[in-house]
Amino acid sequence: MLKAIYPGSFDPVTNGHLDIINRAVELCDSLVVAVARNSEKKNLFSAEERIQMLSSCCYKDNNKIEIVEFGGLLADYCVENGISVIVRGLRAIADFEFEYAMALMNKRLAPAVDTVFLIASNENSFVSSRIVREVVSLDGDVSSLVPSCILPLLKKRLRN
């Protein structure tokens, strides 16, 4: 039984994240989508809100996917929960350096756990949560970049 984890901030979830989730779930028996608490980052949405967005809009019917809140060391979480694969998405070369260091560190902390990278699909390769937040706050249209159910929440939070 191969258990994988896809950790991230998902602040907010984008179609790029959903693409990775949909592809990753086909490669494993179960996928934990781990929403980072990120106390050092200033998030637009609380961890509870980000979990709510992911679960109510996207995955309420898929029993292979579990959405959890997560703080602390990812490597520890993997070992404690029998997770053997960390999934990350790679967009451009800009992602690579950070992801490379992170994967090596996680390998050092938890040698039995491997990181697997899925290359972003063409249409999502420029999409990031940060760019989505920026465009919405300037009244731009992001309807093709995020799940439709989170659009009203985004606009409400960023335009008030």
Q: Catalytic amino acids? A: 17, 41, 91, 129
SS3 32: strand
Q: Is 50 in the site for ligand ADP (CB under 6 A)?
A: no
CB 20 within 8 A of CB 132: no
Q: Measure Cα distances from 97 to 44, 104, 123 in Å.
A: 25, 11, 22
Residue whose pair of structure tokens reads 């760019």 in the numeric block: 131
Considering the complex, what minimum distance in angstroms separates the CB of residue 144 from ligand ADP? Answer: 12
Q: Is 12 in the site for ligand ADP (CB under 6 A)?
A: no
Strand order in the sheet with 3-8: 65-70, 30-36, 3-8, 85-90, 114-119
Segment interacting with ligand ADP, rule: CB under 6 A, options 24-32, 46-54, 56-64, 89-97? 89-97
Q: Which residue is nearest to ligand ADP (CB)?
A: 16
75 beta partners = none
Q: Binder to ligand ADP among 59, 75, 88, 132 (CB under 6 A)? A: 88
Considering the complex, what minimum distance in angstroms separates the CB of residue 140 from ligand ADP? Answer: 17
Segment interacting with ligand ADP, rule: CB under 6 A, options 51-59, 70-78, 123-131, 150-158? 123-131
Dist. CA 45–CA 22, nearest whole Å = 23
Segment interacting with ligand ADP, rule: CB under 6 A, options 23-31, 73-81, 86-94, 107-115? 86-94
Q: What letter would DSSP give residue 72?
A: S
Residues 4-18 as b/e (b if ≥16 CB within 10 A, e otherwise) read: bbbbbbbbbbbbbbb
Q: Binder to ligand ADP among 16, 86, 142, 154 (CB under 6 A)? A: 16
Considering the complex, what minimum distance in angstroms separates the CB of residue 30 from ligand ADP? Answer: 18
Largest distance between two CA atoms of the chain: 47
Binding site for ligand ADP (CB under 6 A): 8-10, 14, 16-17, 20, 88-89, 91, 95, 120, 124, 127-129
